[in-house]
Amino acid sequence: MPINAHPEYVNAEKEYHQADTDVARLKALELMIKHVPKHKGAEKLRKNLRTRYKKFKSDQAKAKKGKKGKKGIKKSEMQAVLIGMTNSGKSSILKTLTNAHPSIASYGFTTQNPEIGTMNYEGCDIQIVDLPPIASEHFDKGIINNADTILLVVEKIHEIEEVKKEITNKRAKQIIIFNKTDLYDKNTKRKITATLKSKRYNHILMSTFTNEGIEDLKKKILKSFPIIRIYTRHPGKKEKLDDKPVILKPHSTLRDVAEKILHGYSKKVKYAKITGPSSKFAGQKVGLKHVVKDKDLVEFFTE
Ligand SMILES: Nc1nc2c(ncn2[C@@H]2O[C@H](COP(=O)(O)OP(=O)(O)OP(=O)(O)O)[C@@H](O)[C@H]2O)c(=O)[nH]1
Ligand SMILES: [Mg+2]
């Protein structure tokens, strides 16, 4: 115990040693710092308390971060990830495309944790992930490696190569989003487009301020996934078409469609009627081996 310690300090120190939770320990430590003797003889003690306090705080911050990390992101069937330099407008794009409400700010390094939103487009639920910026300590390559589609958000042409350097996932499709076109006149935009075209990038010019390019972007995102959509209608419910299509890989069969609706369902199906790109005529009667195509409409018949 330091010489000439206040009784408040003595009590706080006692509380500190008796505390059985981190919260109580931290509270006692704060009291100790408040009442620690101010004379020169206690200098070492003051320093020691401050160090302990700092360590406590950083441990707590780490624990909190760890918990968040564990929560992770459950990848959905179609996932696109936004990556780019700070301030390029990734979070603004997430907000424009989805139901999410991410923090948006002009000061840089705003996004600290991945943010997720769902984009509903042509009956599909597409997961959009907004990442902290490249160069941020929170930037997460793991998510990029798992993504189906990578959306590279840039404000300047030269950023494209810098962002590309961060991508090791060679399997994912890439879409270059040149954002903030509201800042440029027609002529400049024409030049930007010409450059992007000459480099053969799958690209889009857009602005979250004017919504220029948003619809095209949605189309491009959906098109980037190697999927087909099959719409189903259930017998006896002719008037009711399920608005959410069944999502499958290209070249799937009707058996795959039935199994996706309900595991074991294909065993009950006797035949199906199909209308759409894979049918010779509307309502063609087919078996489970029939290979479906995007936007087919299927009606299953059991007994
Ligand atoms: N002029 C213009 N500004 C935009 C546009 N989109 C976003 N901004 C602005 O750019 C700044 C950064 O936007 P954010 O969406 O937070 O950018 P971010 O890429 O998520 O930034 P970090 O989280 O730091 O990586 C904000 O001030 C936005 O208002 C746009 O289309 N045009
Ligand atoms: Mg952000």
- Whether 64 has a pLDDT exceeding 70, the answer reads no
pLDDT digits (tens, 9 = 90+) for 90-144: 999 999 999 999 999 998 899 999 999 999 998 889 999 999 999 888 888 889 9
pLDDT single digits (tens) 140-192 = 888 999 999 999 999 999 999 999 999 999 999 999 999 999 999 999 999 99
Q: What percent of the chain has pLDDT over 70?
A: 93
Residue nearest ligand 1's atom 14 by CA: 89
Q: Which two tokens stand for residue 89?
A: 């407008």
pLDDT interval class at 21 (50, 70, 90): confident
Please check the confidence at residue 237 and state whether its pLDDT lies above 70.
no
Residue nearest to atom 16 of ligand 1 (CA): 104
pLDDT tens for residues 191-217? Answer: 999 999 999 999 999 999 999 999 999
CA of 107 to the centre of ligand 2 (A): 10
Nearest ligand to the CA of 210 is 1
Q: Is 111 in the pocket of ligand 1 (CB under 6 A)?
A: yes
pLDDT at site 1: 61
Query: What average pLDDT does the segment 28-51 reach?
Result: 89
Q: Which atom of ligand 1 is nearest to the CA of 179?
A: 31
Kindly report the average pLDDT of the chain as a whole number: 90
What's the confidence (pLDDT) of residue 242? 65
How far is residue 156's CA from residue 148's CA, in Å, rounded to a whole number?
Answer: 24
* Average pLDDT value for residue range 270-291: 95
- Which atom of ligand 1 is closest in space to residue 85's alpha carbon? 25
CATH code given to domain 79-224 = 3.40.50.300
Q: Are 295 and 280 in contact (CB under 8 A)?
A: no
90 lines ligand 1 (CB under 6 A): yes
180 lines ligand 1 (CB under 6 A): yes
pLDDT attached to residue 68: 46
- The domain defined by 228-301 folds into Ubiquitin-like (UB roll) (3.10.20)
The number of the ligand 1 atom at minimal distance from the alpha carbon of 109 is 24
pTM value is 0.74
Torsion angles phi and psi, residue 102, rounded to 5: -75, 160
Q: What are the extents of the domains in the chain?
A: 7-71, 79-224, 228-301
pLDDT at 70: 37
CA of 108 to the centre of ligand 2 (A): 8
